[in-house]
């Protein structure tokens, strides 16, 4: 049997029919980094730039079939986890990850869409904590997601640092906590935290209402890991990439959200 000539990145997430987030954003990000992209669709959304109107969850049997097909044939360097809407879906994904043990797992705990639509059922939150958190190389929550995971508000920079430590204490090996939801006009501060401490990453705050930034960040981390970067450097490079993609973003629909320019952000400045 031939050995794969390239390393692939696998996204297990939801499909965005509007093309700005989810599986579509992940595959564009992989391609922009010149990494072969694989996908297993864990949810389907009827979605555009104005919101999510419907969600459908395929059977876990079909999800398992997609995942086994990917692991059976490809050399997978990193797995990105996105929208996993139910406890049954999370259990199915966790079972496959435990069986195949990919080197890196990037967990984006997708819970609420940019539009405010809830994307994670209540019964899935405990399953995410107990099944997926221990398998993740890094978890990439924004502040509302971290608040749901921890059960309390995070409303300033000091609270962010404490929240990163709390997530590590819950079992995360590393955390990239995104600070874009903090109020204020200053720089956006993100925190990378692991057993060695906390490192801040700062970018000028952009006025754009970005769509798909969380999906893109997590998939860019996975792509960077496939390219051989260390986890801290992968997170920093991914954060820089998302900032460029948002700065170059555009509005393809009638909503007020801006879609990232995944390919423009990968070009030399």
What per-residue confidence (pLDDT) applies to 82? Answer: 96
| Domain extent listing, the chain | 8-264
117 band by pLDDT with thresholds 50, 70 and 90: low
Q: Considering only CA atoms, which of 200, 241, 205, 206 is closest in space to residue 222?
A: 241
Whole-angstrom distance, CA of residue 96 vs CA of residue 121: 21
Is the CB of residue 212 less than 8 Å from the CB of residue 219?
A: no
Per-residue confidence (pLDDT) for residue 269, from 0 to 100: 62
Q: Tens digits of per-residue pLDDT, 212-264? A: 999 999 999 999 999 999 999 999 999 999 999 999 999 999 998 899 999 99
Tell me the CATH number for domain 8-264: 3.40.1190.20
Tokens representing 243 are: 């900032």
Residues 154 and 182: their CA atoms lie apart, in Å, by: 8
Q: Please report the pLDDT score of residue 5 as a whole number.
A: 75
Residues 6+ apart with CB under 8 A from 97: 79, 105, 135
- The token pair at 150 is 């921890």
In angstroms, the CA 108 to CA 24 distance is 15
pLDDT surpassing 90 at residue 66 = yes
Identify the CA nearest to 81 among candidates 190, 222, 192.
222
Please compute, for residue 8, the number of CA atoms within 13 A of its CA located in the half-sphere on the CB side: 17
Average confidence score pLDDT of the chain: 92
How far apart are the C-alpha atoms of 246 and 100, rounded to whole Å? 34
- The yes-or-no verdict on residue 114 having pLDDT over 60 is no
| C-alpha to C-alpha distance for 173 and 156, rounded to whole angstroms | 23
What is the mean pLDDT of the segment spanning 145-171? 93
């Amino acid at each position: 049997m031939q050995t794969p000539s390239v390393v692939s990145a696998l996204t297990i997430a939801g499909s965005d029919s509007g093309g700005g987030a989810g599986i579509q954003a992940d595959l564009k990000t992989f391609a922009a980094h010149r990494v072969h992209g694989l996908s297993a669709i864990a949810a389907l959304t009827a979605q555009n730039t104005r919101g999510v109107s419907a969600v459908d969850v395929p059977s876990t049997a079909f999800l398992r079939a997609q995942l086994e097909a990917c692991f059976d044939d490809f050399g997978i360097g990193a797995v990105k986890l996105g929208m996993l809407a139910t406890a049954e879906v999370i259990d199915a994904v966790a079972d496959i990850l435990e069986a195949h043990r990919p080197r890196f797992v990037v967990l984006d705990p997708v819970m609420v869409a940019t539009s405010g639509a809830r994307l994670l059922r209540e019964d899935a939150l405990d399953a995410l904590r107990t099944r997926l958190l221990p398998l993740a190389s890094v978890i990439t929550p924004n502040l509302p997601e971290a608040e749901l995971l921890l059960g309390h508000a995070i409303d300033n920079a000091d609270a962010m640092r404490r929240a990163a430590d709390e997530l590590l204490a819950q079992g995360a090996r590393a955390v990239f906590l995104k600070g874009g939801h903090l109020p204020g006009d200053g720089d956006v501060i993100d925190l990378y935290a692991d057993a060695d401490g906390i490192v801040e990453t700062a970018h000028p705050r952009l006025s754009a209402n970005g769509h798909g930034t969380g999906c893109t960040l997590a998939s860019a981390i996975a792509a960077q890991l496939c390219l051989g970067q260390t986890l801290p450097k992968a997170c920093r490079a991914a954060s820089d990439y998302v900032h460029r993609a948002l700065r170059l973003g555009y509005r393809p629909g009638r909503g007020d959200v801006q879609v990232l320019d995944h390919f423009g952000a990968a070009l030399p400045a």
